[in-house]
Amino acid sequence: MEFGVFDHLDRGDLPLKDFYEARLKLIEAYDRAGFYAYHVAEHHSTPLGMAPSPSVFLAAVAQRTQRLRFGPLVYALPAHHPLRLIEEICMLDHLSGGRLEIGFGRGSSSIEVGFYGQNPADAQRIYAEALDLILRGLSERTLNFQGEFFTFDDVPMELEPLQKPHPPVWYGVHSVESAERAARRGLHVVSLDSARETRSFADRYRKVWRESRGDTRGMPKIGISRFIVVAGSDEEALSIARRAYPKWHRSFYHLFRLYGGAPAHPRPPDFDGIMKAGQGIAGTPETVGAFLQSQLTESEATYLVGQFAFGDLSLSESLRSVELFTRHAMPALMAKDEG
């Protein structure tokens, strides 16, 4: 069992300069606490995502941490030119001493994909083609590629990643079909859905992995992500979460209020709804640990990803939450996993 962090970098009440500095201080705490990796989302033209260029923010993360691995979850490929992304990935891998983990997807918001001049109906095909292209460009010295959306002839690949043939690759799963695709490619995965749904994804992933490779040795991580707030009492933690979460939710729905429609993966409007849906927990370390253990047992995930900063949570509130989680809940979860 390993532990990671997921982050939207949704805007709180601080000036942006102070917001970035506070988040980097929190990421330093993740580094000290022994988390495996920090995963940042990419969003555009919305307060949900103050890291619209994940590579820029992660370059700062590389310089502020020592052991923590990190990467985008995910680069929204319809919003990127593949050649530029190949170069940024290589730079980040070297700047971090080989700590980069790379995630790719089609983009969760059709509105944001449209802002970049792409037809949302093409997003899945752009993702599939660009992923093949990027992985090829990371592992070959000369790039040749002919596809529906991109063509390259004899482009020199002057940069190469530190990790060979490329950094570990991640994908966000929301269906058994996406889990199957990820298993065939050997990608690490993270689910934001319920434990029951995640179990169906995990079962399909393992089945396809065994069919294509014969056993489960070397299987990538199967992750599940949850909102987490830890405090000295259940009442205190719930009060904090109930205050902070609605601001995150407003950011999550911001573009849909402006342009209509709804997110592909809707979320309840309040934290009580999140807890009822099994997508978050607020409480003492014991309350949080018991909830997360039940989630891990039901989902059979092998990687737990916490979202410790969201809405108007202050730096001190998130730092305390992380400290209590890593001091008490994390060791208990690891002990049960080893048992």
pLDDT at 140: 96
- Mean pLDDT on 13-37: 97
Q: Give the C-alpha separation, 125 to 31, whole Å.
A: 36
Q: What span, in angstroms and rounded, lies between the C-alpha atoms of 279 and 269?
A: 12
pLDDT value for 339: 64
What's the CATH code of the domain at 17? 3.20.20.30
Q: Is residue 222 part of a domain?
A: yes
| pLDDT tens, position by position, 224-249 | 999 999 999 999 999 999 999 999 99
Proportion of the chain above pLDDT 90, given as a percent: 94
Residue 163 lies in a domain: no
Q: Residue 218: pLDDT above 90?
A: no
Q: What's the start-to-end Cα distance of the chain, in Å?
A: 11
DSSP assignments along 217-242, one per residue: TTPPPEEEEEEEEE-SSHHHHHHHHH
Please count the structural domains in the chain: 1
pLDDT in tens, 131-148: 999 999 999 999 999 999
In a domain, 100, yes or no: no
Q: Which of 78, 182, 175 is nearest to 122 (CA)?
A: 78
pLDDT reading at 44 higher than 90: yes
DSSP assignment letter at 81: -
Indicate the average pLDDT of the chain. Answer: 96
| Structural domain boundaries enclosing 290 | 2-73+169-338
* 87 domain-assigned: no
Residue 294 resides in a domain: yes
Torsion of CA 151, 153, 157, 163, to 10 degrees: 50
Q: Which of 267, 255, 249 is nearest to 111 (CA)?
A: 255
Indicate the pLDDT class of residue 103, thresholds 50, 70 and 90.
very high
Is residue 115 one of the residues assigned to a domain? no
